[in-house]
Amino acid sequence: MTDRYAVIGNPIGHTKSPLIHGEFARATAQDMEYIAIEGPLEGVAEALLAFRDAGGRGMNVTAPFKLQAYELATDRLERAQLAGAANALKFEGGRILADNFDGVGLLNDIQRNLGFSLAGKRVLVLGAGGAARGALLPFLQAEPAEVVIANRTVEKASALASQFAAHGRVSGCGYQDLARERFDLVVNATSASLKGGLPPVPADAFVRAALAYELVYGKGLTPFLRFAQNAGAASLADGVGMLVEQAAEAFAWWRGVRPETRDLIRRMTVPLV
């Protein structure tokens, strides 16, 4: 019997997840189907449970339902607990297991695919929302010299840093505190690029940066990436690799086999021009 999986979000028409998991299933000879579901903004828990009760084995969860999925889970793994959100669920009998692969997907893309090791590096994360929260544990486990979280609301950045202080050297600050600071890696975890905007990061932050990474994908040279390029960043990347890598982690969690990712990332990559 074909196993059923899905991604749920609202809106969901833009999702690449059925394409990605379909490629993974073919490459690994898995008997499964994967669909997209537009969940209701009110009552999404019922939609999640209905998919499970109809025989669903697991789900990816995207905006704006990651918090609701986390709250619905009966078992929350460490990454989901620290992120306070779930981007993947697995249904096992009456149990609903929740994990969050966003951060490990980002780290895998940066280290495996882009060849940039975080060990001993200074890392700047722009934004203190869910995307930044999901990245912090995998980043700190890679043993950077320091991770700095910059946010418009300093208190939010500082509070987030305090939550992860036991896992490594991490601090929070405002954008105005970045003057004359230099970083090896700068990650834009804000949503500014979705609206054509740019977080107020100073150009000096990129002077020695080997890599500027934009979590938004498929938008070409976003304002952030263009600014980083002009400020001296050596390499630029968007989030398509993260998208595929987090999907591969969820696929391996569900199916017990991890698919190869690099060729799919290459085919999905939009030139940064």
Does residue 66 have an active-site annotation?
A: yes
Q: Which of 66, 90, 121, 219 is catalytic?
A: 66
On whether residue 174 sits in a domain, the answer given is yes
Does 33 reside within a domain?
yes
Distance CA 80, CA 101 (A): 8
The verdict on 132 and 223 lying in the same domain is: yes
pLDDT at 207: 82
Percent of the chain with pLDDT over 90: 92
Looking at the fold, whether 68 and 160 belong to one and the same domain comes out as no
* Residues 94 and 124 grouped into a single domain: no
131 in the same domain as 74: no
Domain for residue 253, yes or no? no
130 belongs to an annotated ligand binding site: yes
Residue 227: its pLDDT value, please?
A: 97
Residue 130 binned pLDDT confidence (cut-offs 50, 70, 90): confident
The answer to whether 156 is a known ligand-binding residue is: yes
- The pLDDT score that the predictor gives to residue 209 is 85
**Residue 244 domain-assigned (yes or no):** no
Q: Check: CB of residue 130 under 8 Å from CB of residue 123.
A: no
pTM of the model: 0.94
Edge-to-edge strands, sheet with 122-126: 170-173, 146-150, 122-126, 185-188, 211-214, 236-237
pLDDT top residue among 29 and 191 = 29
Q: Residue 172, annotated ligand binder?
A: no
Does the structure show a pLDDT above 90 at 236? yes
Mean predicted lDDT score pLDDT of the chain:
96
- Give a yes or no: residue 149 inside a domain: yes
Q: Considering the domain boundaries, does residue 254 fall inside one?
A: no
Chain segment 184-233, per-residue pLDDT in tens: 999 999 989 988 999 999 999 998 888 999 999 989 999 999 999 999 99
157-182 average pLDDT score: 96
Task: CATH number of the domain at 46, please.
Answer: 3.40.50.10860
For residue 118, the enclosing domain spans: 103-237
Q: Is 155 annotated to bind ligand?
A: yes
Over residues 248-254, mean pLDDT: 98
Q: Is the pLDDT of residue 249 over 90?
A: yes
Q: Which of 42, 57, 52, 45 is nearest to 5 (CA)?
A: 57
165 residue type, one letter: A
Overall domain count for the chain: 2
* Ligand-binding site membership of 246 (annotated): yes
With 0-12 CB in 10 A as exposed, 13-18 as middle and 19+ as buried, what is 77? middle
Establish if 262 belongs to a structural domain: no
Q: Please give the share of the chain, as a percent, with pLDDT higher than 70.
A: 100
- 188 found inside a domain: yes
CATH number at residue 204: 3.40.50.720
Q: Is 195 annotated as a binding residue?
A: no
- Asked if residue 273 has pLDDT above 90, the reply is no
Residues 30 and 86 in one domain: yes
Considering the domain architecture, whether residues 94 and 123 belong to the same structural domain is answered as no
Is pLDDT of 141 > 90? yes
219 is in an annotated binding site: no
